Amino acid sequence: MNIALCDVDKNYGSKSVISNFSYTFEDGNNYLIKGESGSGKTTLINLILGLSEVSSGTISGTNKYAVVFQEDRLLEDFSAIDNLRFANKELDVQTISSELSLLIPGCDITKPVSTFSGGMKRRIAIARAMLSKSNVIIMDEPFTGLDTQSIDNTLEFIKTNQDGRMLIITSHIFDELPGFIRIDL
């Protein structure tokens, strides 16, 4: 299902963060929301997810979302296996092991994620979203803390596991991503 925003405004007190924004995100497409820090990217994501209310305007279209927030929001005392199974109980250990080995080769997926580096946690959060049962995937600055090689591997992992679902990524580091529709904030 498409996500339609019509004349959306978001204000925090007297400060306008998003003004008169209209856009329709269509099923199956990839979107790159581009903007500098503080331009309203995270605010827009929070509005779409219903985590924040619009000051005026409308947002329509309900979906089953998988989200990678700026903070990884993992279950720190749980293993990588349990973090992924939290989002998709049908995943078996062999599938999780195989998929995570593409993102984090040699990672002990039975250890609590609290023992992992920030970049490893970030990739586990991305894997959790990509392997979930959702029809829309939203990632807010998903490549923070990743080196160039990790970003390339992660983009390939995302592409391989997208399965035709809508993908919305925010970024202030990329100007373009192949196959993505760019939206400037």
What whole-number distance in Å separates Cα of residue 180 and Cα of residue 100? 24
Could you read off the pLDDT of 8-42 as tens digits, one per residue? 999 999 999 999 999 999 999 999 999 888 889 99
Q: Does 1 score more than 90 pLDDT?
A: no
Q: Does 170 score more than 90 pLDDT?
A: yes
Kindly write down the DSSP assignment for every residue of 98-132, as one continuous string. Answer: HHHHHHSTT--TTSBGGGS-HHHHHHHHHHHHHTS
Given this model, what pLDDT does residue 67 score? 96
Q: Say whether 65 sits in a helix, a strand or coil.
A: strand
Given this model, what pLDDT does residue 125 score? 96
Query: Predicted confidence band at 159 (pLDDT cuts at 50, 70, 90)?
Result: very high
The neighbouring-strand residues paired with 65 are: 136
Could you read off the pLDDT of 69-93 as tens digits, one per residue? 998 899 999 999 999 999 999 999 9
> Parallel, antiparallel, or unpaired: how do β-strands 56-60 and 3-12 relate?
antiparallel
Q: Does 62 score more than 80 pLDDT?
A: no
Given this model, what pLDDT does residue 175 score? 84
